[in-house]
């Protein structure tokens, strides 16, 4: 991770949730006190950020930039 954190047992498996507006979603979660493991990372396929659920489990929020990267391509 950007802060130098290295993988530890049980703490790096995660699931991904697709969101339409990652920046707004991240802002709302920050205001609610959510802990972030990273800042928003932008790539070719889209943008992502890793947050922690109340138990400390990582959850990836992903906003695709390409149609083929969307879960629902309809």
Q: What is the pLDDT of residues 6-21, one digit of tens each?
A: 766 556 678 899 999 9
Answer yes or no: is 37 within a domain. Answer: yes
- Number of domain units in the chain: 1
SS (H, E, C) the chain: CCCCCCCCCCCCCCEEEECCCHHHHHHHHHHCCCCECCCCEECCCEEEEEEECCCCCEEEEEEECCHHHCCCCC
Mark the ranges of the chain whose per-residue pLDDT is less than 50.
Answer: none
Q: What is the pLDDT of residue 73?
A: 64
Structural domain boundaries, residue 58: 15-68
Answer yes or no: is 2 within a domain. Answer: no
CATH number of the CATH domain containing 27: 3.10.180.10
Answer yes or no: is 3 within a domain. Answer: no
């Amino acid at each position: 991770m950007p802060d130098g954190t290295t993988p530890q047992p049980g703490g790096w498996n995660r699931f991904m949730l697709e969101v339409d507006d990652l920046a707004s979603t991240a802002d709302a979660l920050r205001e609610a006190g959510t802990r972030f493991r990273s800042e928003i990372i932008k790539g070719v396929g889209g943008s992502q950020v890793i947050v922690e659920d109340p138990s400390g489990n990582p959850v990836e929020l992903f906003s695709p930039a390409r149609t083929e990267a969307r879960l629902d391509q309809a």
